[in-house]
Amino acid sequence: MVRNERPSDVIYPSQVYLNGIKKTQTMNINTYEELVDETIKLYEAIDSHIGDNTNERASFVGCLVRQAGHDFMDYRPDDSNVGGSDGCSHYDDPDNMGLYECVTKFGIDKLYENWNTRVSIADFLVIIAEAVMGRVATDNYGTTYNKNTHFRDGTYAKTLRDSFKYGRKT
């Protein structure tokens, strides 16, 4: 079996992001920034070549944002208030096709192994999506990414970091 072909019995992120804690109990800015940095290292390790209908870095960004987006889009603001960013998107849903394949292709599941005792899958998915959004954004002055000033005033990365609330339950 090719690594990124989804086994038929794998239908939830908890079956991909293994041994995750149910809820992030504590988190500080350093922890958030460390996970962002590790995600950016994965991004930068990807070939930056842009060819005819190929851009692996863009595929990586799209994968992470899509995984987080499809996770929070299932929120139902009715009497049950179920869903939302809970790490439980259903890979068999036609709208979610390809999510498993992209997260395993890029090794996001392996990245989570470094965080599974500290960060819930639900929080992890939000942070890694924020990491790539902050990485590819320009700041208020049109300046692109600089590792040394990534979280300075005026950057989208700082806005995301400073507004992040941990504690989502998987």
Q: Rounded to whole angstroms, how far apart are CA atoms 131 and 39?
A: 6
Q: Residue 47 falls within a domain, yes or no?
A: yes
Q: Residue 168 falls within a domain, yes or no?
A: no
Task: Tally the domains of the chain.
Answer: 1
The whole-model pTM stands at 0.89
How far apart, in Å, are the Cα atoms of 141 and each of 137, 144, 148, 160? 11, 9, 16, 17
Q: Rounded to whole angstroms, how far apart are CA atoms 163 and 169?
A: 18
Max CA distance (Å), the chain = 49
Q: Along the chain (170 residues), what's the average pLDDT of each consecutive run of 10 residues?
A: 70 90 95 97 94 92 93 66 73 89 94 96 96 90 84 92 91
Q: Residue 102 falls within a domain, yes or no?
A: yes
Q: Residue 5 falls within a domain, yes or no?
A: no
Give the Cα-Cα-Cα angle 49, 54, 60 (nearest 5 degrees).
85
Q: Rounded to whole angstroms, how far apart are CA atoms 154 and 119?
A: 27
Task: Provide the pLDDT for residue 83.
Answer: 59
Q: Residue 52 falls within a domain, yes or no?
A: yes
Q: Residue 1 falls within a domain, yes or no?
A: no
Task: Residue 41: give the domain boundaries.
Answer: 13-163
CATH classification of the domain holding 152: 1.10.520.10
Q: Residue 8 falls within a domain, yes or no?
A: no
The DSSP-derived string for 56-108 is HHHHHHHHHHHHHHHHHTT-BTTTT-B-SSSS---TTSGGGTTHHHHHHHTTH
